[in-house]
């Protein structure tokens, strides 16, 4: 599946099969892996939690994870009719957004806009102070599907003029490299 921006596959760009890891690409560039992606409730619910972004996502000054999550939801619902719900636990810390409470609030707001229920914000017990987990369930209905697609279209518009990984000028690239060095990632 491709939205024009992202391509969602199984491992090594093979077609995706439910219950297997998800890989997300822009063009030929791998953006993220999700592994595992278990099926719950007799195969009617998919669970999203283990998000592993690549360097291009970590260095991107925009919150690409939101676009990836929304694209995965749309892909699953459009291609696997047996999936009636997508549960999620979002906990990845974003280095450039130091305020964990603000990040959690933004994630919660996005989940509410797409119609997710039982959305919770809780401190992450094994992390540094100020790191929060957002969890909930998106349940398929005509209303929630329309809400998901509306939010996704707006999110896609944020990346149309400037694709993921592109830079407006050289100084943006230098800033991204400095952030990467300061964060201590290799």
Residue 77 CA to residue 23 CA, distance in Å, equals 17
Neighbour tally for 17: CB within 10 Å: 10
Residue 2 lies in a domain: no
pLDDT at 174: 54
Structure tokens at 124: 């992450």
pLDDT at 160: 82
Residue 22 lies in a domain: yes
Residue 121 lies in a domain: yes
Residue 16 lies in a domain: yes
- Alpha-carbon dihedral angle through residues 170, 33, 185, 110, given to the nearest 10 degrees: 70
pLDDT at 20: 95
Residue 40 CA to residue 75 CA, distance in Å, equals 18
Residue 142 lies in a domain: yes
CATH at residue 57: 3.40.630.30
Domain boundaries, position 107: 7-183
Question: What is the H or E stretch that residue 183 is in?
Answer: helix 170-183
Q: Which residues of the chain have pLDDT under 50?
A: 96, 168-172, 185-186
Residue 169 lies in a domain: yes
Question: Per residue in 8-30, pLDDT tens?
Answer: 999 999 999 999 999 999 989 99
Residue 1 lies in a domain: no
Is residue 135 within 8 Å of 119, Cβ to Cβ?
yes
Against a cut of 0.85, is the pTM above it? Answer: no
Q: How many domains does the chain have?
A: 1
Please name the residues in contact with 137: beta carbons below 8 A apart, sequence gap of 6 or more.
45, 85, 86, 87, 88, 116, 117, 118
Neighbour tally for 43: CB within 10 Å: 13
Exposed e or buried b for every residue in 120-157, given b needs 16+ CB within 10 A?
ebeebeeeeeebbbbbbebbbeeebbebbbebbeebbe
Residue 178 lies in a domain: yes
């Amino acid at each position: 599946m491709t939205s024009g921006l992202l391509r969602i596959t199984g491992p090594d760009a093979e077609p995706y099969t439910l219950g297997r890891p998800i890989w997300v690409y822009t063009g030929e560039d791998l953006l993220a892996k999700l592994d595992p992606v278990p099926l719950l409730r007799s195969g009617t619910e998919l669970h999203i939690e283990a998000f592993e972004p690549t360097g291009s996502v970590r260095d991107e000054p925009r919150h690409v994870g939101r676009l990836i999550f929304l694209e995965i939801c749309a892909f699953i619902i459009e291609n696997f009719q047996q999936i009636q719900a997508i549960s999620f636990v979002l906990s990845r810390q974003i280095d450039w957004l130091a305020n964990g409470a603000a990040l959690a609030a933004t994630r919660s707001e996005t989940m509410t806009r797409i119609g997710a229920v039982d959305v919770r914000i809780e401190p992450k017990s094994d992390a540094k102070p100020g790191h929060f987990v957002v969890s909930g369930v998106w349940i398929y209905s005509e209303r929630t599907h329309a809400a998901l697609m509306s939010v996704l279209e707006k999110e896609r518009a944020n990346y149309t003029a400037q694709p993921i990984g592109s830079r407006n000028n050289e100084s943006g690239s230098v800033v991204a490299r400095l952030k990467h060095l300061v964060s201590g990632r290799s």
